Amino acid sequence: MMEENKIKVSVEVIIESENNFLFNILAPQSLDQDMIRSVLVGGVALSIRAEETPKDQAKALRDVIDYLESEFINPDSFSDAQKFVD
Could you read off the pLDDT tens digit of each residue along the chain, which spans 86 residues?
Answer: 778 888 899 999 999 988 888 999 999 999 999 999 999 999 999 999 999 999 999 999 999 988 888 877 666 655 555 566 55
Q: What confidence score (pLDDT) does residue 19 get? A: 82
| Secondary structure E strands in 1-86 | 10-17, 20-26
**Helix (H/G/I), strand (E/B), else coil: 10:** strand
Single-letter amino acid code for the residue at 66: D
pTM of the model: 0.70
Q: How far apart are CA 40 and CA 36, in angstroms?
A: 6
What's the pLDDT at 5?
Answer: 86
At 77 the three-state DSSP class reads coil
pLDDT at 78: 54
Q: List the domain boundaries for the chain.
A: 46-71
DSSP 8-state assignment for residue 52? S
Task: Work out the angle at residue 44's Cα, subtended by the Cα atoms of residues 42 and 47, and round it to the nearest 5 degrees.
Answer: 110
pLDDT value at residue 73: 66
